[in-house]
Amino acid sequence: MERLVKDLMSKDCVTATLQDNVFELAVLMRDHDIGFVPIVDGKKLIGTVTDRDLVVRGYAEKHSGSTAVSEVMTTDVWSITTNTSVDEAARLMADHQIRRLPVVENGSLVGIVAIGDLAVRDIFVNEAGDALSRISEQNGEKGQAAYH
């Protein structure tokens, strides 16, 4: 039986909006111990910000904490649906060197699948390990953003 993303995705997503700024995202990440925040308009996924985005596109570019989220977010985001197979999600993560995939239905964010979600399921350890090793072997690693 093929396992689907809906069986293991995190449904309780911490999100932000375009009204938030870089400082507020950093606080969200700290307070929730996360490194990835989907940016939404209502429930519609419009981008993502990672901890690496905050550093590389934010602070390293000398942007202040009051800088708009839009200055550091990735808008060209890979996403999947709840009916995507776990194998396909792992393949997508490996092929595109990404560690987290937003899960959307009709454009609305319904969850997130992370490489760790694949690894905690014994049956998926090989897929997660293969995906992570393909992600990690990249010298010019794209970081943790979900680029499309």
The per-residue pLDDT for range 3-47, each reduced to its tens digit, is 899 999 999 999 999 999 999 999 999 999 999 999 999 999 999
The per-residue pLDDT for range 102-144, each reduced to its tens digit, is 999 999 999 999 988 887 554 445 555 566 565 555 544 444 4
How many distinct helices (H) and strands (E) make up the chain?
Answer: 5, 4
Amino acid letter for position 75: T
pTM over 0.85: no
CB atoms within 10 A of CB 129: 14
Residue 72 contacts residue 49 (beta carbons within 8 Å):
yes
Phi, psi of 36 (to 5 degrees): -150, 125
Domain boundary assignment for the chain: 5-136
Spell out the residues 6+ positions from residue 53 whose beta carbon is closer than 8 angstroms to its own: 72, 73, 74, 143, 145
CATH number listed for the domain at residues 5-136: 3.10.580.10
Q: Is the dihedral of CA 132, 88, 84, 45 positive or negative?
A: positive
* Lookup: tokens for 99: 């560690």
First-last CA distance in the chain: 29
